[in-house]
Amino acid sequence: MTANIQTIFFDVGNTLRIVLPDQEFIDRAEAGLMELIGTTESHDTLFAKLEERWKAYRKQSKTTLLDASEGELWTQYMLPEYDPNMIFANAPKLTRLWRDHDGRRVARPDAVATIKELHRRGYTLGIIANTVTETEIPDWMAADGVAQCFKTTILSSKVRLRKPDPDIYHLACRCIGTPEANCAYVGDNPVRDVEGTQAAGFGMMIRIDEPDTLNKEKATGKEFTPDHVITSLSELLDIFPERA
């Protein structure tokens, strides 16, 4: 099966990148968000409200398998009582600050080297990610020098479709020009990533074992078995040999 794989798609969160706790970084992000919207609410009041609304939005998006744009997220779900013009204009910044209030996101230690080697070996690479931000992933790719390795980047915040909807995988295949049977997917989620990939007819699914994801993911009663389970991205180099 490996010989037939031409394209490898990646998830990003907890697959290519992980979150590191950094309280100073978090404090700056939260202060920046409060300053940006000019709030008169206390820190605890504002962020308790945002967390509650974020959970409600996430529950809805996971049910409908549709994601809002950044502007819609902030004007309709997160801060509807604030001036919509101001919030809409600052939506990209708000999204980044909201993401940063979880912690500092960095690439796994072996991510960049593995991506570059797979690209050198002749594989076409792409991204399929559920994300609320349209800029964070492209900015990371440019900063870490791997942007040229990826042919297609499919983000749920831009295309609205959300994993595990097979349509987001089909869209990625059309954009990159490879049939599903000749594509592999690498992700961390034992339900969403495996289910969506297999429903879309991908030739291979590889799950990276991420304890943080396994602790949060709730079982659905269905069994989705990946083709491989790895503990580090560099193990992909044992699965995907150099292409002729």
Specify the pLDDT at position 222. Answer: 60
Specify the pLDDT at position 1. Answer: 43
pLDDT in tens, 116-174: 999 999 999 999 999 999 999 999 999 999 999 999 999 999 999 999 999 999 999 99
The answer to whether the predicted template modeling score (pTM) of the entire model surpasses 0.85 is yes
Mean pLDDT of all residues in the chain?
Answer: 92
Is 70 exceeded by the pLDDT of residue 41?
yes
Q: How confident is the model at residue 223 (pLDDT cuts 50, 70, 90)?
A: low
**Distance between CA atoms of residues 70 and 133, nearest Å:** 7
pLDDT in tens, 173-191: 999 999 999 999 999 988 8
The dihedral through the CA atoms of 70, 106, 187, 30 has a sign that is negative
Helices (H), the chain: 23-37, 43-64, 70-72, 84-89, 91-100, 111-120, 136-143, 156-159, 166-176, 192-199, 211-216, 236-239
Is 50 exceeded by the pLDDT of residue 192?
yes
Q: What percentage of the chain reaches a pLDDT higher than 90?
A: 86
Is 90 exceeded by the pLDDT of residue 3?
no
